[in-house]
Structure 1
Amino acid sequence: MEPEAYSMSSGVDWDKDDPFEEQREEIESPMQRLLFEYGRPYWFSMVVGLISSVFARALDLLPALMLAVAIDAIVYDAAFAEQVPLVVLPEAWLPTTETGQFQFVVAVIAGSFAFGAIFHWLRNWGFNSFSQSVQHDVRTATYDKMQRLDMEFFANKQTGEMMSVLSNDVNQLERFLNEGMNSATRLIVMVVGITCLLFWLNPQLALVSLAPVPLIAVFTYVFVKKIQPKYAAVRSSVGKVNSRLENNLGGINVIKSSNTEEYESDRVEDVSRNYYDKNWGAIWLRIKFFPGLQVISGIGFVLTFLVGGYWVFTETAPGPFTGTLETGVFVAFIMYTQQLVWPMAQFGQVINMYQRAEASSERIFGLMDEEGRIERDDEATELEVREGRVEYDRVGFGYDDSERIIDDVSFEVDGGETVALVGPTGAGKSTVLKLLLRLYDVDEGEIRIDRQDVRDVSLASLRRKMGYVGQDTFLFYGTVEENITYGAFDADREDVIEAAKMAEAHDFIQNLPDGYDTEVGERGVKLSGGQRQRVSIARAILKDPEILVLDEATSDVDTETEMLIQRSIDELAEDRTTFAIAHRLSTIKDADTILVLEDGRIVERGAHEELLENEGLYSHLWGVQAGEIDELPQEFIERAQRRQARTEVGDDD
């Protein structure tokens, strides 16, 4: 396959907008929703983290304050009990000797570090416990919602995009709930605490130290408005990178056999470059913002040092200021102003994390609020299969409004009968049976099982009564036995072996290195296509369903194995309603009824011999497989060419 053709076959427009853009636009207050819906059960750990953070940061402010006391009271012989920070304490608690005063200051500083360490530990426990618990709940709830969405949703989304939501976006939330909220609390306590202390110590000099704050607020507001759309673009580009990598790794056999490694490397480079550009745009804005914020914050420190230093050295209040400024208070101002510079500069980092988390939460809740076409009723009645009679009554369906895939399909199947659906590629055979399983819901008409509309019964009971073997055999990472018992988890080894024997899988399983305990690898890569298909058939047999759906169930096995499997399937289908799709008509010629579909309509129906005598589409398809191509009418060949030129959306059968 040529690179250009392979590019079109991928069906992905890597330059399109965020695939979750429509969902994101409907989300309001995502962070508030996150905290109230998922944070509420863990309020205790969050409160512990918040309170401990407040006390920890408050204790961090004590050493500088006590240093000011020591300088003014001990070095400059000022009245110890009259020091501003100590007026809140009873005078009887305060020592009167210089040695006692020194020891008191040292004890307070040492105590602040000791108790501060305890509160820091509690803070870390609280925030980490809160963030990890919320992250776990959000990820599992998002996955649960995702797997319950309609197949139509998965047809329109790339696996890598959804993996990006479950992994990258959820991790962004955890980072903000832990680091972001921790930092935000620390910054608030530090800024408010230092501001109060500065005004308490000297209101006039405090105005100088805090002069840059309004400018910082404006600077941060501009940053937030500019960075928000950039982070949304970054989150989208991450999903595209994941989708490209997942798509390529899944199709590695095609890439190697087509000798397109260099071409695919270029395509990965393209999406990676797109992510680089989007991410660098956000990084470049941060690079300009944080140093600028630090410079503005530093202005407060320089002004404090300049005005306060002049005030202390000259012992004269500069300009409009009045009164005196003690040396200890000046030292405290210098230390607090320096401590204030970094929190103010770091405030941008908190905003940065918040914006990332908000963009991620919009994508998460956008996915969780996705509504499918299939209506689910948790209180719906259970499906009761008594006879296994299935009725399609004037059924119509289309994946979108542009084209009908199934049009006015009606037929009845008595319990225990086998019905085969045949027809050219794109006729809608697989879609007809997907409607029975309610992987999609009909747009028109009804499908009934024993007179019960499949839309009126619970999905769980409907699918419990059915066994499905598809043409795209999928095995989960795990052992052979785990894959056979999937959906029938309580089955014992004897039942598993019996099901494997009926699927003609027992012999090859015994020859595997660890028998039924052999790991099959991701997607069953360690087994051949035919082996995977037989394991899948054994899975359906073990489930022992009332209704069996076989969609090209033997497409990946050789003729001899197909004969053996078909014999087992015939035995399995004797006492249950069975639907079978097959391109190899020899496998379904003994069906009770054969339905021939073309362009979403039933054009013929009847038994094998009857359809051959009609000399219609079925007899022509039989002639193709019998090698009688030269005897086919020109009209059939022309119609086949038109069908092949047409591209069916969402249905390749």
Structure 2
Amino acid sequence: MSSVDWDEDDPFEAQRENIESPMWRLLSEYGRPYWFSVTAGISGSIFARLLDLIPPVLLGIAIDAIFLSTEPFSLPLVPDAWLPAEPDQQFALTVVIIAFSFLIGAAFHWIRNWGFNSFAQDIQHDVRTDTYDKMQRLDMEFFSDKQTGEMMSILSNDVNQLERFLNDGLNSAFRLGVMVIAIAGILLWLNPQLALVAMSPVPLIAVFTYIFVKKIQPKYAAVRSSVGKVNSRLENNLGGIQVIKADNTEDYESGRVDDVSRKYYDTNWGAIRLRIKFFPGLQIISGIGFVLTFLVGGYWVFQGAPGPFSGSLNEGAFVTFILLTQQLVWPMAQFGQVINMYQRAEASSERIFGLMDEQGRIETDTDAEPLEVRDGRVEYDHVTFGYNDEETIVDDITFEVPGGDTIALVGPTGAGKSTVLKLLLRLHDVDEGAIRIDDQDIREVSLPSLRQSMGYVGQESYLFYGTVKENVTYGTFEASDEEIVEAAKAAEAHDFIQNLPDGYDTMVGERGVKLSGGQRQRLCIARAVLKDPDILILDEATSDVDTETEMLIQRSIDKLTENRTTFAIAHRLSTIKDADKIVVLEGGQIVERGSHEELLQNDGLYAHLWGVQAGEIDELPEEFIKRAQQRTARTQARQDDD
């Protein structure tokens, strides 16, 4: 990928712009099944914070009633007849109530933490699995212009960001909200005039927070996007580490990683600069309330009601005011952290729902009937397809394959051969025309049944991290050991598997890195053999094996293709010369068709390609060489655009 691509906008920007109220959507769609845990968390938070406020209230009462004896001993919501008359008994009762408030409060704290953690973890799990499920069901066109690192960033970083808010942020929001409301109520009950002094910074905090939210929201969206770009670059480089080492480009790649990391650094630092200005400012504003309360309340106790204030203020009430105001200052300052987490979570949820709302070009009908393969006859009826509106890759293709026959697709690079087979698998849908199997339009049958009827061996021999056995049985998970061995033998893989350290239980490494290209390809062929499909698709299935192994695999493939409809693509024309029919493509169109002998007699494109592989380059016509040069130039230009 060129460096220019790294400067493009977030690939999900268009989808994000259409997402409205992402956090409400998150809670409404994913939170409802877990109402019990979040209700427990909210209830635990409310009761835990209310119990936390009992000690400072009782302390003020004890100072006035027990230690200074300036007020009668009285507890809120408790009839005076229930209270002891002696100071020592009053003191003992106060100690017991405070002790029980801590004990019961601890239980409610546990309920609060269990509820919010359970709520957050359940939603995190559901969102991640739903997002992945949605992503893997999109058609291949979606993946052609998206970086793996971008999608990994959404599935990992963005989903984790939601969990942090749903656990810590939502937990803190309710906890702080309860504290602010409860403390404000107690202060108003103790002394409404002084309570107004303590809460005087609240309007200023609200304005300050509103300005912060407006400025930080776009910065966090940019940060989430830049994280995806860093992940994409790292994933790209780690996947191509062998090429990097072979070409001695470590310094060059380190520079490219430094570039994307620096962009992330700059973007993130812009958000950090705003954040580190906001929180100290919020702390100062919140502290004003505490200082004013201490100043006015202290003067009130020593000198009487100051200025416009009236009435009295006892020492115990003043102590309670100071303790609670300090607790009021803390949640007001911490509320900025909640806003910060919310904005991060909202930016992440926009990206998640942007991916979830992605619409593919393939339309599937959940009520479609399953495909019924009878003879395996395949028909391409005036099929046209392009990956975009600007270029047609397959142009008005028409041919028929009788059930049980083998058809080979031949042509120069970029002729559209692989695309023709991807259309049969419905990795893409045709733009015009139709593809039918036994007279059933493949767009009108269920997608799982269509793909279950086919075995595909591509030119890229992809293996999953796991054992040899797990890779051979991928898609046919219930196969017996005997069936696995027979499939491996058919693919000429059994002998080399037995020589591996742990045989069929040998770990193949990431993408099969511990095996050679030929070994990986034989395992992929064994996987297709084990599936025993009605229709077999071989896209350069022997491209990574040597000539001798190719001969052995070809012998097995010949047995496998008996009485089975087979599509084969091969640049080595010797491997497909015995096909029942050969279709020659150029520029997305069929230019020749027939048997090997018929095409050689035609002296057309196929005959020239055969001459190239036979080493008869000097005998090729000049026109063929010019067209080959033009095709190569077009292919290179297309790769540069990608």
Q: TM-score range by the shorter chain?
A: over 0.9
The residue that corresponds to 2:616 in the other structure is 628
Q: Are 1:261 and 2:250 counterparts?
A: yes
Q: Deviation digits for residues 107-142 of structure 1, max 9, x if unmatched?
A: 111111111100001111111111111111111111
The residue that corresponds to 1:614 in the other structure is 602
CA distance in 2, matches of 1:582, 1:504: 19
Q: Deviation digits for residues 252-309 of structure 1, max 9, x if unmatched?
A: 1111111100000010011111111111111111100000000000000000011111
Q: Which amino acid aligns with 1:16?
A: E
The equivalences for 1:488-503 within 5 A come to 488-503=476-491
The residue that corresponds to 2:132 in the other structure is 143
Aligned length: 640
Q: Deviation digits for residues 430-460 of structure 1, max 9, x if unmatched?
A: 0000000000000000000000000000000
Q: Out of 191, 204, 208, which is 2:197 matched to?
A: 208
Q: Out of 376, 385, 394, which is 1:397 matched to?
A: 385
Q: Are 1:35 and 2:30 counterparts?
A: no
The residue that corresponds to 2:83 in the other structure is 94
The residue that corresponds to 1:4 in the other structure is none
CA distance in 1, matches of 2:92, 2:478: 72
Secondary structure at the aligned position of 1:535 is classed as helix
CA distance in 2, matches of 1:437, 1:87: 74
After superposition, the Cα gap between the structure-2 partners of 1:571 and 1:193, relative to the gap in structure 1 and judged at 3 Å, is same
Q: Which amino acid aligns with 1:499?
A: A
Q: Out of 324, 334, 343, which is 1:346 matched to?
A: 334
CA distance in 2, matches of 1:437, 1:220: 54
Q: Out of 351, 375, 379, which is 1:387 matched to?
A: 375
The residue that corresponds to 1:197 in the other structure is 186
Question: Which stretches of structure 1, 4 residues or longer, exceed 2 Å deviation after superposition?
Answer: 78-81, 647-652
Q: Deviation digits for residues 164-202 of structure 1, max 9, x if unmatched?
A: 000000000110110011100111001001111111100
Q: Out of 404, 426, 435, which is 1:416 matched to?
A: 404
Q: Out of 594, 606, 616, which is 2:582 matched to?
A: 594
Q: Are 1:444 and 2:436 counterparts?
A: no
Deviation at 1:250, TM superposition (A): 0.5
Q: Which amino acid aligns with 1:214?
A: P
The residue that corresponds to 2:45 in the other structure is 53
Task: Give yes or no for contact 1:423–1:596 (8 Å, CA) kept in 2.
Answer: yes
CA distance in 2, matches of 1:376, 1:556: 35
Secondary structure at the aligned position of 1:13 is classed as helix
The residue that corresponds to 1:67 in the other structure is 59
The residue that corresponds to 1:13 in the other structure is 5
Deviation at 1:477, TM superposition (A): 0.6
Q: Which amino acid aligns with 2:110?
A: W
CA distance in 2, matches of 1:435, 1:420: 16
The residue that corresponds to 1:293 in the other structure is 282
CA distance in 1, matches of 2:114, 2:255: 46
Deviation at 1:78, TM superposition (A): 2.6
Q: Which amino acid aligns with 1:161?
A: E
Deviation at 1:512, TM superposition (A): 0.3
The residue that corresponds to 1:76 in the other structure is 68
CA distance in 2, matches of 1:280, 1:581: 52
CA distance in 1, matches of 2:69, 2:479: 87
Q: Which amino acid aligns with 1:57?
A: R
Deviation at 1:649, TM superposition (A): 4.9
Q: What are structure 2's unaligned runs of at least 5 residues?
A: none
The residue that corresponds to 2:164 in the other structure is 175
Secondary structure at the aligned position of 1:322 is classed as coil
Q: Are 1:281 and 2:264 counterparts?
A: no
CA distance in 2, matches of 1:211, 1:33: 35
The residue that corresponds to 2:507 in the other structure is 519
Q: Which amino acid aligns with 2:162?
A: L
Deviation at 1:567, TM superposition (A): 0.7
Task: Give yes or no for contact 1:312–1:327 (8 Å, CA) kept in 2.
Answer: yes
The residue that corresponds to 1:376 in the other structure is 364
CA distance in 2, matches of 1:80, 1:421: 100
Task: Give yes or no for contact 1:67–1:332 (8 Å, CA) kept in 2.
Answer: yes
Q: Deviation digits for residues 146-180 of structure 1, max 9, x if unmatched?
A: 11011000111010000000000000011011001
Task: Give yes or no for contact 1:431–1:651 (8 Å, CA) kept in 2.
Answer: no
The residue that corresponds to 1:425 in the other structure is 413
Q: Which amino acid aligns with 1:277?
A: D
Task: Give yes or no for contact 1:428–1:597 (8 Å, CA) kept in 2.
Answer: yes
Deviation at 1:376, TM superposition (A): 1.1
The residue that corresponds to 1:241 in the other structure is 230
Q: Which amino acid aligns with 2:105?
A: G
Q: Deviation digits for residues 524-547 of structure 1, max 9, x if unmatched?
A: 001000000000000000000000
Q: Which amino acid aligns with 1:276?
A: Y
Secondary structure at the aligned position of 1:520 is classed as coil
Q: Are 1:362 and 2:350 counterparts?
A: yes
Q: Which amino acid aligns with 2:193?
A: Q
Secondary structure at the aligned position of 2:436 is classed as strand
Deviation at 1:651, TM superposition (A): 13
Task: Give yes or no for contact 1:421–1:580 (8 Å, CA) kept in 2.
Answer: yes
Q: Which amino acid aligns with 1:568?
A: S
Q: Are 1:22 and 2:32 counterparts?
A: no
Q: Which amino acid aligns with 1:579?
A: F
Deviation at 1:60, TM superposition (A): 0.7
Q: Which amino acid aligns with 2:449?
A: S
CA distance in 2, matches of 1:53, 1:234: 32
Cα RMSD (Å): 1.2
Deviation at 1:80, TM superposition (A): 2.7
Q: Out of 127, 131, 138, which is 2:120 matched to?
A: 131
CA distance in 1, matches of 2:380, 2:268: 53
Q: Deviation digits for residues 532-568 of structure 1, max 9, x if unmatched?
A: 0000000000000000000000000000000010011
Q: Deviation digits for residues 40-78 of structure 1, max 9, x if unmatched?
A: 111101100100000000111111100100111112213
Q: Which amino acid aligns with 2:263?
A: N
Task: Give yes or no for contact 1:422–1:596 (8 Å, CA) kept in 2.
Answer: yes
After superposition, the Cα gap between the structure-2 partners of 1:651 and 1:277, relative to the gap in structure 1 and judged at 3 Å, is closer
Task: Give yes or no for contact 1:187–1:347 (8 Å, CA) kept in 2.
Answer: yes
CA distance in 1, matches of 2:553, 2:4: 38
Q: Percent identity between the aligned chains?
A: 76
Secondary structure at the aligned position of 1:394 is classed as strand
Q: Deviation digits for residues 84-110 of structure 1, max 9, x if unmatched?
A: xx2421112111111011111111111
Secondary structure at the aligned position of 1:609 is classed as helix
The residue that corresponds to 1:3 in the other structure is none
Deviation at 1:342, TM superposition (A): 1.1
CA distance in 2, matches of 1:378, 1:566: 39
Provide the TM-score with structure 1 as the length reference.
Answer: 0.97
The equivalences for 1:316-327 within 5 A come to 316-327=304-315
Task: Give yes or no for contact 1:484–1:538 (8 Å, CA) kept in 2.
Answer: yes
Deviation at 1:216, TM superposition (A): 0.2
